[in-house]
Amino acid sequence: MEFCDRYGQPRLQVERIYERFQKRSPAQHHALLSEYLNDVVGIIDWQHAAVLPLCLCAGIPDHFHNWGDPLSESLAQAEVNSPENLDRLSQEDQEMTEQTMRRRLVHFGYVTLTKTRLQDHLDALRNENSMLRAKLFSYVGAPWEGDSVTLKYAHIQPMNLDETQAHTESGLFPIHCSEEEIRQCVDSYTQEQEKMEGPSEMKDLIGTNSLG
């Protein structure tokens, strides 16, 4: 919030295709951060410190996970055998298939070790609410880059879960949004994701990122 107050200026989203090149104000981003804010009285003795709730510490490390692959996302049994027709595929398709297999092996290797050594960690990985909290925590810690829709969507995602009402009543989930506000946010997020399909495919084809 301090960064947003000092340096936040109306700016274009990093992905320029959004909003037809219209600049966005950081005001909504600041408001969303204020809803997430907690009072910290003091911090002493950092040894073995961890962010709470502990589910925020759960997750597959960025360089290990293979999210985006349906088999990996399901945490189902890993397919470790190469396709029988691998040698009949083109060189490019062989490389892509082998890369997919390697990513799955690393992904499931981490999950398997977690299951063996840290069952609580695995339970958090399988809990949708825990992963949504971790995603929200990640977005809250990111600097202002012209995008408030993603953070807003992360705010309202838990509201689709069955236990949300109980969480709201108990004070564990203090964010309140009307049904209309939720619908508008979901529509905006969906539209932005659809807009990004074409540019994402082009960037993958060219081999560049947003800045490139």
Other beta carbons within 10 Å of 102 = 11
Residue with tokens 């840290």: 118
CB 121 within 8 A of CB 50: no
Query: What is the sign, positive or negative, of the torsion defined by CA atoms of 123, 125, 129, 133?
Result: positive
Task: Give pLDDT, residue 20.
Answer: 62
**What is the C-alpha separation between 121 and 57, in angstroms, rounded?**
8
- For 82, which DSSP code? P
CB 54 within 8 A of CB 124: yes
Q: Helix, strand, or coil here: 11?
A: strand
**What is the C-alpha separation between 126 and 121, in angstroms, rounded?**
9
CA–CA distances in Å: residue 51 to residues 23, 46, 54, 101, 159? 34, 11, 6, 33, 23
Tokens of 135: 């995603």
CB 104 within 8 A of CB 96: no
Tokens of 12: 């274009």
Task: Give pLDDT, residue 117.
Answer: 92
**What is the C-alpha separation between 116 and 136, in angstroms, rounded?**
28
Q: Give the chain's residues under pLDDT 70.
A: 16-21, 77-80, 158-175, 210
CB 134 within 8 A of CB 16: no
Q: What is the pTM for the complete model shown?
A: 0.57
**What is the C-alpha separation between 206 and 212, in angstroms, rounded?**
10
**What is the C-alpha separation between 135 and 190, in angstroms, rounded?**
17
Tokens of 114: 């977690």
